């Protein structure tokens, strides 16, 4: 998806997000849904972001694996998140296409590809958190830590203490590791993880179970954090809440009022949640 509403002569930043490379990690789809819903909404922050940042989003990198009900691998039996170094157009077609697009964007003088974020779900850890890369340059190390710190301020379920930066050899073929070495030193690549089950907020004594709505809320807060990162807060006419609720997000719809807007209701949120759940149940339906 591309949201490009700024004049051509003004350079815009590029942000690339991918999700669901591991088909069993369905929370990643809800987080990605939250990002997309917010960015196409009429919320003033979303409108500012569309005016200053190009977002390219691949919400499902492994559609065949999702359809088959696989947990980690593709139709051909590959863990796609280990084949970024040399993806085959035959065996890993989605990875091959996305890698080509990212390389093209990184070489385009009209824009600056600054972020790659790959959304996953984690089976043993709590909260949302990030993995980043290790660099020799100390200034780059500090700059890489900025986005997770800002996200921690916006999302109460994001854990900075669980966030880490590593150079694990086993992860060399992942999107975060490979693209972190491919892109220039102004680009930052992260894996965004979210717990399969619960999160703990500051001062709490018991974990809170994640729901589809709280997963999507994390996605909205990820998108909102780019306003802080790019220092666009001054463009917001009236200061809105730090944490964005679904009731604050408005959408363009074909059958809406004269202004072209409609408010998201609990029914709307549930309908989108059901769509994702139905995708996850395709295998059971096909083989019943």
User: Is 11:108 a contact under the CB 8 Å cutoff?
Assistant: no
Could you tell me which residues are beta bridge partners of residue 113?
Answer: 14
User: Is 186:123 a contact under the CB 8 Å cutoff?
Assistant: no
DSSP calls for 204-272: -SS-EE--HHHHHHHHHHHHHHHHHHTT-GGG-SS---SSPPGGG-EEE-TT--TTSEEE--HHHHHHH
Q: Which two tokens stand for residue 173?
A: 């073929």
Q: Which of 25, 114, 193, 248 is catalytic?
A: 193
Sign of CA dihedral 255, 257, 260, 264: negative
The class that CATH gives domain 12-286 is alpha beta
Helix (H, G, I), strand (E, B) or coil at 197: coil
Residue ranges of domains in the chain: 12-286
| pLDDT tens digits, 20-76 | 999 999 999 999 999 999 999 999 999 999 999 999 999 999 999 999 999 999 999
DSSP calls for 93-131: HHHHHHHHHHHHHHT-TTEEEEEEEEEEEESS--SEEEE
- Spans of the chain below 70 pLDDT: 1-10, 111, 170, 238-288
Q: What is the pLDDT of residue 239?
A: 52
Cα angle 105, 80, 220; round to 5? 60
Q: Which two tokens stand for residue 58?
A: 């691949």
pTM for the model stands at 0.81
| pLDDT tens digits, 7-19 | 444 578 899 999 9
Q: Which two tokens stand for residue 159?
A: 């854990």
Is position 193 annotated as part of the catalytic site?
yes
């Amino acid at each position: 998806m591309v949201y490009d509403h700024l004049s051509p002569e003004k350079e815009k930043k590029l942000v690339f997000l991918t999700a669901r490379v591991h088909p069993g990690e369905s929370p990643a789809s809800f987080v990605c849904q939250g990002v997309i819903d917010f960015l196409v909404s009429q919320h003033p922050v979303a409108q500012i972001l569309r005016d200053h940042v190009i977002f390219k989003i691949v919400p499902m990198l492994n559609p065949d694996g999702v359809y088959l009900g696989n947990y980690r691998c593709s139709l051909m039996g590959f863990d796609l998140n280990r084949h970024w170094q040399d993806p085959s157009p035959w065996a890993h077609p989605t990875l091959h296409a996305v890698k080509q697009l990212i390389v093209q964007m990184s070489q385009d003088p009209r824009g600056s590809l600054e972020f790659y974020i790959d959304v996953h779900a984690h089976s043993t850890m709590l909260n949302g958190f990030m993995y980043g890369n290790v660099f020799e340059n100390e200034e780059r190390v500090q700059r890489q830590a900025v986005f997770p710190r800002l996200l921690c301020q916006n999302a109460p379920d994001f854990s900075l203490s669980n966030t880490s930066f590593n150079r694990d050899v086993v992860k060399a073929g992942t999107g975060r590791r490979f693209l972190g070495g491919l892109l220039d030193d102004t680009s930052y690549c992260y894996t965004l993880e979210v717990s399969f089950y619960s999160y703990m907020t500051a001062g709490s004594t018991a974990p809170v179970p994640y729901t589809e709505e709280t997963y999507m809320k994390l996605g909205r807060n990820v998108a909102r954090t780019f306003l802080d990162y790019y220092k666009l807060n001054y463009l917001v006419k009236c200061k809105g809440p730090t944490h964005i609720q679904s009731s604050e997000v408005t959408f363009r719809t074909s059958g809406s009022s004269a202004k072209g807007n409609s408010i998201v209701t609990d029914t709307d949120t549930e309908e989108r949640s059901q769509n994702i759940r139905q995708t996850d149940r395709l295998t059971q339906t096909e083989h019943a």
